[in-house]
Amino acid sequence: MTKFQLRQYVNAFKNGDSDAFRVLYEETKSRAYYTILLIVKNETIAEDLLQDTYMKVVDKIHTYESGTHFAAWVNTIARNLALNHFARAKKETLQDVQTDEMLFGRSESTAENESYLHQLMEHLDGESQEIVIRHVVLKEKHKTIAQAMHKPLGTITWKYNEAIKRLKKVANDEEI
């Protein structure tokens, strides 16, 4: 489908045409689904987040700026929802670990390490966080990350290296 045709369907959908939404959904769902799946690594969760993505698209269609790439807008919503889910899941795991430690008195605290890592990650912008999470936690290669984020490989590698430098500086209490 051409950008012009896509734009016509977006305008029709903004004007209340539910058939236009079905076309837009079919045109953009695969890319959104695989973006989510790359982050959460769970098909069931990815399907739920895909549904949440399109609920948000319906709810926020009035904020979509005509003339911009609709599929990229949908994909950004999908990616953000997946990253938010990933962050929430990590927090829930952190809470479970802390509860276990209180109940069972573990001496090795991964909860402290995870909390510290979470605090460090707050010093990065969203895109850098995604790159670091994908590479370090999800063990994705820079090439895979570049393809998923539609960025040049050199940009991803540079952003990753800059993010790691920044995290090291923060960890060593150096000024940034």
Q: 45 and 132, same structural domain?
A: no
- Is the predicted pLDDT of residue 130 greater than 80, yes or no? yes
Q: 36 and 98, same structural domain?
A: yes
Q: How far apart are CA 163 and CA 161, in angstroms?
A: 5
- Is the predicted pLDDT of residue 95 greater than 50, yes or no? no
Q: Which CATH number belongs to the domain containing residue 33 in this structure?
A: 1.10.1740.10
Q: Please, are residues 17 and 63 in contact by the beta-carbon 8 Å criterion?
A: no
Question: How would residue 140 be classed by pLDDT, with cut points 50, 70 and 90?
Answer: confident
> What is the number of structural domains in the chain?
2
Q: 139 and 106, same structural domain?
A: no
Q: 64 and 42, same structural domain?
A: yes
Domain that residue 84 falls in: 3-122
Q: Highest-confidence range of 80-94, 126-140, 148-162, by mean pLDDT?
A: 148-162
| Average pLDDT, rounded, for the chain | 82
Mean pLDDT of 21-26: 94
Q: 169 and 133, same structural domain?
A: yes
How buried is 17 (Cβ within 10 angstroms: 0-12 exposed, 13-18 middle, 19+ buried)?
A: middle
Higher-pLDDT residue of 93, 90: 90
Q: 102 and 129, same structural domain?
A: no
Q: How many CA atoms lie within 13 A of 161 on its CB side?
A: 6
pLDDT reported for residue 58:
94
Q: 142 and 97, same structural domain?
A: no
Q: 144 and 58, same structural domain?
A: no
Q: 130 and 105, same structural domain?
A: no
Q: Which of 104, 122, 140 is the last residue of a domain?
A: 122
- Is the predicted pLDDT of residue 111 greater than 60, yes or no? no
